[in-house]
């Protein structure tokens, strides 16, 4: 019976493709050192960007980093002018300000060699943008393009919420079902990883409109327990969502 998410995804792989606040990401392998993100003139005077570490190049690590990127893009922007350092890591939402003419260069330093994902609000091609190492232009070894938010439909937003604590499962289920009953039409997608009181496993859930699927996932193990949830939809009220979410924590 019921709604089977895996089956829905088999029929239509884009079923769960939400609208993201960025249009492009590239995976780079970076060594210790200083790098430059070089941008030419483009259609906009500013561009949002986030640079996040990637645990490994497996799909689940990329999905986790993608979720971090949505959360990061829902944070306040930090303005970065030409020649300034890019803010690096989770929660660091850069707003790159371009020179009126010619190229604009932004710097960042990598202290830990490894894989990194760069997320940009617009496609780098629109600005002839590229990443430079000490002596060469670096090509990402993997890129992905995303369905951008409908800019003309200002109401479509993504709300990312992270909170410490453990959830009371019954309260959480009650609140989520009420949320979907009342706002399901406007919720295009939601997903989350939550810590539930009394559970050694992570609770993962995803929903599309009024359909919902939640289940225990792998053990928390030595990972710090945490709660992260993303809701993408129309006319979302962050404060009300956060308050509803918070009310389900074990007090």
Dihedral pair phi/psi, residue 7, rounded to 5°: -65, -45
Domain that holds residue 224: 156-246
**87 and 182 part of one domain:** no
pLDDT over threshold 50, residue 222 = yes
Task: Count other Cβ atoms within 10 Å, centred on residue 200.
Answer: 11
In a domain, 12, yes or no: no
Residue 68: DSSP 8-state: H
pLDDT over threshold 50, residue 1 = no
**42 and 127 part of one domain:** yes
**116 and 175 part of one domain:** no
In a domain, 7, yes or no: no
SS3 173: helix
Structure tokens at 236: 């979302």
Gap between the Cα atoms of 157 and 159, Å rounded: 7
Instruction: Return the pLDDT at 123.
Output: 94
User: In which band, very low, low, confident or very high, does the pLDDT at 78 lie, cut at 50, 70 and 90?
Assistant: very high
Q: Where among 102, 120, 145 does a domain terminate?
A: 145
**23 and 119 part of one domain:** yes
Instruction: Return the pLDDT at 152.
Output: 39
In a domain, 6, yes or no: no
pLDDT over threshold 80, residue 250 = yes
Please name which of 73, 61, 156 lies closest in space to residue 119, comparing C-alpha atoms.
Answer: 73
In a domain, 150, yes or no: no
Average pLDDT value for residue range 75-86: 93
**100 and 163 part of one domain:** no
**49 and 122 part of one domain:** yes
What pTM was estimated for this model as a whole? 0.61
**164 and 195 part of one domain:** yes
The rounded percent of the chain whose pLDDT value lies above 90 is 53
The rounded percent of the chain whose pLDDT value lies above 70 is 89
Q: Where among 122, 145, 168 does a domain terminate?
A: 145
CATH code for the domain in which residue 201 is found = 3.30.1220.10
Q: Where among 77, 112, 145 does a domain terminate?
A: 145
pLDDT over threshold 90, residue 127 = yes
Average pLDDT value for residue range 41-57: 94
Gap between the Cα atoms of 205 and 194, Å rounded: 8
**42 and 141 part of one domain:** yes
Alpha carbon 40 to its chain's center: 26
Total domains in the chain come to: 2
**126 and 22 part of one domain:** yes
**40 and 102 part of one domain:** yes
In a domain, 69, yes or no: yes
Name which residue leads in pLDDT, 17 or 115.
115
**77 and 193 part of one domain:** no
Instruction: Return the pLDDT at 181.
Output: 84
In tens, the pLDDT along 156-203 reads 778 888 889 999 999 998 898 888 888 887 887 888 899 999 999 999
pLDDT over threshold 60, residue 246 = yes
**Cα distances (angstroms) measured from residue 41 to each of 44, 98, 140:** 8, 7, 21
Average pLDDT value for residue range 227-239: 87
């Amino acid at each position: 019976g019921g709604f089977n998410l895996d089956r829905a995804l088999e029929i239509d792989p884009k079923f769960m493709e939400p609208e993201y606040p960025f249009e492009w990401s590239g995976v780079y392998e970076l060594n210790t050192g200083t790098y430059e993100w070089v941008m030419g003139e483009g259609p906009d005077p500013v561009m949002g960007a986030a640079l996040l570490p990637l645990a490994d190049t497996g799909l689940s690590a990329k999905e986790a980093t993608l979720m971090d990127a949505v959360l990061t893009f829902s944070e306040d922007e930090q303005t970065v002018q030409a020649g300034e350092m890019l803010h690096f890591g989770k929660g660091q939402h850069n707003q790159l300000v371009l020179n009126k003419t010619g190229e604009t260069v932004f710097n960042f330093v990598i202290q830990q060699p490894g894989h990194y994902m760069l997320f940009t609000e617009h496609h780098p091609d629109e600005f002839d943008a590229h990443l430079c190492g000490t002596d060469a232009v670096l090509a990402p070894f993997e890129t992905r393009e995303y369905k951008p938010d409908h800019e003309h439909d200002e109401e479509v937003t993504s709300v990312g919420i992270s909170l410490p604590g453990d959830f009371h499962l019954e309260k959480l289920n009650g609140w989520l079902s009420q949320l979907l009953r009342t706002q399901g039409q406007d919720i295009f997608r939601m997903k989350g990883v939550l810590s539930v009181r009394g559970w050694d496993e992570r609770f993962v859930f995803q929903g599309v409109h009024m359909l919902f699927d939640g289940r225990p996932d792998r053990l928390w193990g030595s990972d710090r327990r945490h709660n992260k949830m993303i809701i993408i939809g129309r006319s979302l009220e962050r404060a009300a969502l956060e308050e509803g979410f918070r009310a389900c924590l074990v007090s």
